[in-house]
Structure 1
Amino acid sequence: MQLHEVKYDSAQPVDGYGPGFFRVAGEVIQGAILVTEDMATNWDGPEDLAPLLALAGKIDVLFYGTGADPAHPPAALRNALEEAGIGVEAMASAPACRTYNVLISEARRIALAALPV
């Protein structure tokens, strides 16, 4: 078996997560996060639509991490994003982080908005 190193170029991978925090590109961020190819910041949760809608035209899909357990995204969040032309994939935050990391290594137009585990 041959192993290949994953290269992220300028993208910021999620390095880890734990109770109440995420580590992105070596920086610890407490609470919910919003991560794109070029930035990682705190996010105020599913009611905070403005920073997500600002990604319209820049991303195709938003991975929505629902915390420790899988759940449906709030209808208002899903509707607003879909109206803006952004697809939404909801899953627990751990698999959302892993999926985000794989797809940014492929230079996909995605972002991650995740609640802490």
Structure 2
Amino acid sequence: MKFSEASSTTTYRITAYDESSISVNQGKLTRSFIITPDKLITTWEPQHIAAMTPADLEPLFAGGAEVILIGSGATQAFPPAAVWQALVQHGIGFEIMRTDAACRTYNVLSSEARRIVAAFFI
């Protein structure tokens, strides 16, 4: 699905997505990544939500976000219990949803100048 261009103060926006990739600005990503309105991390290691560990959350916690989004892939899936527990204990609001829904949600929240960090599994 393509998005129309919108003016925003954010540096990184999701401009398109499909089953095998997500486009951020003009670049197409085909592996898991982390995005904030002003930072893009393309070297995030876990490639499936079931492979996540609590240590994988550190870059999500580091940015001082008020909301964490996790796009779980084509279907909604949840991380292992230890990851879920670490998210709850950290005290930041979080949502886990299908990647397509997380793409749309990320763009809305970032356009509202919310402090958001999102992790996407493709």
Quote the Cα distance in structure 2 between the aligned partners of 1:52 and 1:112: 7
Give the partner amino acid of 1:51: P
Q: Could you tell me which residue of structure 1 aligns to residue 117 of structure 2?
A: 111
Unmatched runs of 5 consecutive residues or more in structure 2:
47-51
1:91 to 76, 97, 102: 97
TM-score, with normalisation over the residues of structure 1?
A: 0.81
CA displacement at 1:40 relative to structure 2: 1.5
Instruction: Give the alignment's TM-score, normalised by structure 2.
Output: 0.78
Deviation at 1:99, TM superposition (A): 0.6
Distance 2:30 2:24 in 1: 11
After TM superposition, give the deviation of residue 10 of structure 1 in Å: 2.7
The answer as to 2:51 corresponding to 1:54 is no
Residues 74/88 of structure 1: CA separation in 2 closer, same or farther (3 Å cut): farther
Where does 1:15-54 land on structure 2 (aligned, <5 Å)? 15-42=15-42, 43-45=44-46, 46-47=52-53, 48-54=56-62
Higher helix share: 2
- State the superposition RMSD in angstroms: 1.8
The whole-number CA distance in structure 2 between the counterparts of 1:6 and 1:74 is 36
1:38 partner letter: D
Q: CA deviation at 1:30?
A: 2.3
Paired amino acid for 1:24 = V
SS in 2 for 1:67: coil
What's the CA shift string for 1:39-68, capped at 9, x where partnerless?
A: 11222223322212323xx21111110100
* CA–CA distance in structure 2, aligned partners of residues 8 and 44 of structure 1: 29
Q: Secondary structure at the match of 1:100?
A: helix
Match of 1:97, SS state, is helix
* SS of equivalent residue, structure 1 residue 112: strand
Taking every aligned residue pair, what percent have the same amino acid on both sides? 38
Matched, 1:76 2:82: yes
| 1:10 aligned counterpart, secondary structure | coil
Corresponding position: 1:67 with 2:68:
no
Partner AA of 1:36 in structure 2: T
